[in-house]
Structure 1
Amino acid sequence: MARKDKKTLPASGAGIVRYFNDDTAGVKLSPKQVVIGTIIVALICIALRFTTSVGY
């Protein structure tokens, strides 16, 4: 069984992160939109890599 005479330290805020839901101005993107945008940019880069002949 646990001992009853165990002493505890006072609670502190060290290591605790608080997140606030403050709305700020700017573009709001969902994670799905970010993933789709990244895939589109990657496909454009791949297409440009194989269709251009600069430096070859």
Structure 2
Amino acid sequence: MQDTSYTVKIEGFILGKFRKKGTTIDLLPSQATTFLREGRIVPKAAPKPQAKAKD
């Protein structure tokens, strides 16, 4: 499954709602394609893996 969370890069209206820079938004891949191409959103960073516990 693809990650559907994106961070707003340029504030403005996305899907009829005003979004501020730095907020996260969940989009379908088909919706995100256009906004990624326009540079209005960026993919949300993947979570960092946890360090292995020492025995």
Q: Taking structure 2 as the reference length, what is the TM-score of the superposition?
A: 0.17
- Give 1 or 2: higher strand fraction: 2
Structure having the higher helix fraction is 1
TM-score of the superposed pair, with normalisation by structure 1: 0.17
- More RCO (CA 8 Å, sep 6+): 2
Larger radius of gyration: 1
